[in-house]
Amino acid sequence: QKSNSYSKQGEQAEYRKALAMVRDGQFEDAAKSFNTFLDTYPESHYADNANYWIGETYYVTRDFEPALEVFTSLIEVFPDSSKVPDTRLKIGYIHYEQHDWSAAREELSSIVSAYPDSEVAQLANARIKRMKDEGHTH
């Protein structure tokens, strides 16, 4: 019993340590820490969040291909995760950054449909409007 609660504390501490690295802008170290975390605690209830933050570390450093891979995998492996809406938004943003306007518009529009009264829908709508304002209508 005691060892189980100890491992849960260790699990939470490792997750928080990696998350603090993200907040401090130590993206490469954070990605390594989250990967180590997932190797150590593959069944963790933080696994979806850890994957999201790995994708985010790639995204903020403009390393879009691995970010897209991580985010796409997260949705496939954790379809019921609370991180799915944010993950889909990031996928739409990545398509935008890669100038894949139709894929960006498709993803962002589907977010608005799937989560109509949410913050992610507002952000998706704002990016769709920005695309129109920039003349990316096709």
- Over residues 48-72, the pLDDT tens digits come to 999 999 999 999 999 999 999 999 9
Residue 9 pLDDT class (50, 70, 90 cuts): confident
**Does 98 lie in the same domain as 71?**
no
| 88 pLDDT more than 50 | yes
Which two tokens mark 136?
């990316």
Residue 6 pLDDT class (50, 70, 90 cuts): low
Fill in the amino acid letter for 112.
V
Handedness of CA 97, 86, 20, 11 (dihedral sign): negative
Rounded Cα distance, 138 and 122, in Å? 21
CA-to-CA dists, residue 46 to 16, 53, 55, 116, angstroms: 10, 11, 14, 26
**Does 128 lie in the same domain as 87?**
yes
**Does 69 lie in the same domain as 11?**
yes
**Does 56 lie in the same domain as 14?**
yes
**Does 57 lie in the same domain as 6?**
yes
**Does 102 lie in the same domain as 60?**
no
pLDDT tens, position by position, 20-32:
999 999 999 999 9
Q: What domain count does the chain have?
A: 2
| 2 pLDDT more than 50 | no
Domain closes at, from 78, 105, 125: 78
**Does 89 lie in the same domain as 64?**
no
- Asked if residue 87 lies in contact with residue 64, where contact means CB atoms within 8 angstroms, the answer is no
**Does 113 lie in the same domain as 58?**
no
- DSSP H or E stretch at residue 138: none
What's the number of CA atoms in the CB half-sphere (13 Å) around residue 131? Answer: 25
What's the domain range around 47? 1-78
**CATH code where residue 68 lies:** 1.25.40.10
**Does 65 lie in the same domain as 128?**
no
Domain closes at, from 38, 63, 78: 78
**Does 69 lie in the same domain as 10?**
yes
| 37 pLDDT more than 60 | yes
**Does 66 lie in the same domain as 94?**
no
**In b/e form, how buried is each residue of 117-132, taking b as 16+ CB within 10 angstroms?**
eeebbebbeebbeebe
CA-to-CA dists, residue 36 to 11, 31, 39, 91, angstroms: 11, 9, 5, 24
Supply the pTM of this predicted model. 0.90
